[in-house]
A and B are shown apart, each in its own frame.
Chain A
Amino acid sequence: MLGVRALFGIGLLVTSRGGSVLTHTGACARIASNIYSKDLTHRQACTMANTIKYLGQEEAQHIDEELFNEYSFSVDQLMELAGLSCATAVTKGYPLQSLLKSPPRVLVICGPGNNGGDGLVCARHLRLFGYEPSVLYPKRPSKQLFLNLTTQCEKMDISFLTEMPEADVIDEVYNLVVDAIFGFSFKGAVREPFGDILSQLKKITVPIASVDIPSGWDVENGCPDGIQPDMLISLTAPKKAANHFKGRYHFLGGRFVPPALEQKYQLNLPQYPGTDCVYQLKCHCLCGWA
């Protein structure tokens, strides 16, 4: 009953049932039903007609700010959803039963900022999914958020390494490495100890799954002699660097973008399957279509 639903949808008081009420809200009925139906058709049309937008660094930063300032999300809320997406993507690309080494060890390397925070959440969910993550977290910010995320991991019996293992040790011990070092805010030179860490990562043969941006890459232009991850998990929307990604698995994660924000920036996000928090993007063929 469209009229009744519309009544509720815009929060009018119900004074009586029957024709008079429906007439009064007739115009409103159309508006209310449009709140939901327009969004779905719009997105369907977009994915058919357009490709997903790849963001520049500034745009990515603006979207982030808007999520926190206008939409009132908290960092820990979105980080939780982002980290969950990363862990989920890992389970899809590297399911437990497919791992060559037992136990199912994974090395998660966390950088000094929010990308590192995403990595900590990812590690925790990987633990819950049955993997055995170890975390390398050499530079820890003093913010309470990161202290808390660290404690949450420690209390899950996730071990924290004191130093970066050599490449051959990584290859021997771990099934894969999650690169949560630098994210979309990264600019300029790589400070130690991350220079050394990235050098080791260039030598390993086990797969690397990068969170949002392959660490060390320019956020827009990529990095031809940087690390070459096997998996990229783009958060919110892919960044331009993803155009240079040549690995096997490109996932989109961070399923929290409000429709209004998506429309404002014309992100053309795809429809995530069911309740999944990741969407697998087709990897680039030569024509560059996602």
Chain B
Amino acid sequence: MNHSSNEKEPETIEPLRYISKTEVATIETELLRDYRFGQQQLIEIWGHACAIAITKAFPLSSLSKKQPTVLVVCGPEQNGSIGLVCARHLRMFEYEPTIFYPKRSPQSLHQDFTVQCEKMDIPFLSYLPTEVQLLNDAYNLVIDAILGPETDHKEVKEPYAGMLVTLKQVKIPIVSVDVPSGWDVDEPAKDGINPEVLISLTAPKKLFCGIQLLTNLTRYFG
């Protein structure tokens, strides 16, 4: 696995800067407050970008199973909503996403994203099996949109702790949205899930190297 921050692209590109948890919060506050981006707007941009990144890492033609199935696991907060938008765009891109969204956000903003997915005929699972082989057999990959940089990953509550235990064992690739769930933003997790692909939003977080850094999305924000 490459630690791409030290790779020098020809001339113009400076090495990537990895940001800390505090910087994440500051940047996001500034995007909303000073740059007047709407929250739904940002989530739409991020979710769309995630879907595109996934098509680059796992093109339809590269998927080994007969159907281009993808499991999208969504947490209760913003990271989960990004997962919902990502699922919707994957559907537009001819993938077959299935969503597992055990704890739905009460905020209407996030509820809209759920309706949009339902109206696209994207199935929602009622629970995540603990039998890992079932997941390995049914899906080509898992999108981890459970916990984002705003959550305290040391205090992971149920049902997420149990889900992470299951995900640690899957053999199919995991794509994590922004932060591998269960990892601290600033430090690696020694026994956490091991995603194959990480999609950093806005800027990469200070994370354990050894993960393929797929997409730097700073271009959306200048």
Contact = CB atoms under 8 A, between A and B. Distances in A.
A76 B40 contact: yes
Determine chain B's interface SS by DSSP, over half rule.
mixed
A274 B93 contact: yes
A275 interface: yes
**Size class of the A contact interface (CB-based, 8 Å):** 35 or more
A72 B98 CA distance: 20
Nearest to B108: A72
A155 B94 CA distance: 36
B9 interface: no
B35 A152 contact: yes
B7 interface: no
Interface stretch (A9-17, A53-61, A167-175, A209-217): A9-17
A99 interface: no
Contacts of A72: 111-112, 115-116, 119
Contacts of B116: 71-73, 258
A217 to B, nearest CB: 29
Contacts of A274: 55, 93
B123 A152 contact: no
Interface stretch (B44-52, B162-170, B185-193): B44-52
A4 B134 contact: yes
Contact of A11 (B34, B126, B131): B126
Given A11-B123, A258-B116, 18 more contacts: A4-B134, A5-B69, A9-B123, A14-B129, A70-B119, A73-B116, A76-B44, A77-B40, A80-B45, A81-B44, A81-B48, A155-B34, A155-B35, A255-B92, A259-B121, A260-B121, A274-B93, A275-B51
Closest 10 CB pairs of A and B: A148-B36, A151-B36, A72-B115, A11-B126, A72-B112, A9-B123, A77-B44, A36-B96, A76-B41, A5-B138
